[in-house]
Structure formats: structure tokens, C-alpha cells
Amino acid sequence: MYSILICAATGLLVFLILLLAVQLTWWGSLMIALVVFSVSFFFLSRYISKKLMVVLEQAGRDLQAQRFEKAVREMKEALRFGPWQLYVADQINSQIGMAYYIRRDFANAFPYLEKAFFKNWIAMGMLAISYMKRQKRDKMEKTFDKAVQWNGKESLLWNLYAYCLAEECGERNKAITVLEKGLKKLPGDQHLTENLDHLQNGRKMKMRSFGDPWYQFHLESMGQLQKHQMASMGGRMQKRMTVRR
């Protein structure tokens, strides 16, 4: 990373000047050089972060205003900051991949999701699903395993992992094991508990209670969603008619 290299070079230069020109003791020179390195790294990182946030905030506003192409172009331009700081490129790739995925542009989403930041569990979940749809189940499981390792407190992530195993891959026993592991991280979690009970009793998992965060993964077809909405509407109408009677 450029920031580390520049600050390390600055610290080394200060060390040599103090040691050779000023003839300060080596440990005194080293202490001052470390302080110079730390201070310069702090301010340079802060400067880069501010420049990056300006770009990403504008891209966020454009996404909200449905200016998708402009937002993606801005995020891609922000990749120029990648070499300056650790994980910056990974985080930007996560955002670009997620933006494409949510729009169902899975082909364009995939290469960016492959470079996603491992702590961005949403992007990692989308990547795992992309592997699953490409019939690469081993990579799907490895991606989910890495995601839950770093994001173990996310209930939807554990449930998403189990759903892909049970409902998409037919691996019900593996899914049960995943939910049991999730409950060790999130004891008493309602979603994990209920879905574990469903699988243990041969029923399908229930994911719609997660709302929009669940739907963004596009694991239910529009037909299924419309059927569910019609069923819910019919149930409400029937309830109203019963009350009127």
C-alpha cells in the first residue's frame, strides 16, 4: 500500500538523519522515527479516507435517485484509491458487485463480488449464491464459511447459508448443522430457532420475515412473491368478510 510505503520511507529518512547527521543514539533515533511514521500515516490515511468518502457518498445519492450508471461509474473511478490503503479496493468492489446484483445483472456482479471484502457479509452472501448458481457448491460453502467466521452475529447470514443448503441444494442435514452453529453464536435467536425446528420436522424454512434484506438476494422468483402477496391479500379480505358477518 502506497500510504505505508511513503510513511515508512519518511520514518527511515528521519531515522538516518538523526543517527548519522545529528548523531543521536540508535534507540532515540528509532523512537522518533516511529513517531514520525505513526503521525504521518494517521494524517495521510485520514486525507485519503476523506477523499474516498466524498466519492462514495455522491455514488450513494445517485443510487437512491436511480442514477445507476452514474453511481457505478463513480465507484469504479474510486478504485484509484485502492493502492493507497489496505482493503479499500475490496470494499469498493463489494459495493459495485452488490449494486449490479440487486439489479439482477448477475453476470456483471460476479467479477466484483469475487473481489469483495470478507467482512461485508451481504456481498459475501451474494458471491456464495453466485457460486451455487454456477454449480460450484464447494466454493459456495467455503465462501459462506468465511463469511460466518467474520460475521457470526448476523442472523440472516446463518439462515441464508442454511437455506441455500436445504432448499436449493437438498442438503438438509448440513443446513441443520449450520443453524446449530449459528445458535451457538446467537443463543435464542428467533429466526434460527424457528428455522431449525422447521428443518428438523421436515418443513421448509421461512425467510420472508426478514423482509427486504432477504429479498435482495433474489432467491425467490417474482412469481413466488406475487403468489405470496395474493395469498396474503386474500387472507386479509376473508378476515374482513368474516368480521362483517
For residue 31, is pLDDT > 80? yes
Describe the chain by its helix, strand, coil percentages, rounded to 5: 80, 0, 20
pTM for the complete prediction?
Answer: 0.82
Q: Which CATH architecture has domain 124-221?
A: Alpha Horseshoe (1.25)
For residue 229, is pLDDT > 60? no
Higher pLDDT, 7 or 115: 115
CA 59 to each of CA 20, 64, 112: distance values in angstroms, whole numbers, following the listed order: 50, 9, 16
Q: 245: buried, middle or exposed (CB in 10 Å: 19+, 13-18, 0-12)?
A: exposed
Q: CA-based angle 239:243:245, to the nearest 5?
A: 120
In whole angstroms, give the CA distance from residue 241 to residue 209.
26
Confidence of residue 239 (pLDDT cuts 50, 70, 90): very low
In whole angstroms, give the CA distance from residue 124 to residue 144.
7
For residue 112, is pLDDT > 50? yes
Would you list the domain boundaries of the chain?
1-79, 124-221
Confidence of residue 192 (pLDDT cuts 50, 70, 90): very high
In whole angstroms, give the CA distance from residue 91 to residue 2.
17
In whole angstroms, give the CA distance from residue 171 to residue 198.
14
Render pLDDT for 70-98 as a digit per residue (tens, 0 to 9): 999 999 999 988 888 888 999 999 999 99
Confidence of residue 105 (pLDDT cuts 50, 70, 90): very high
Looking at residue 234, its pLDDT comes to: 40
Residues for the chain: how many in total?
A: 245
- Burial track 13-40 (b if 16+ CB lie within 10 A, e otherwise): ebbeebbeeeebeeeebbebbeebbeeb
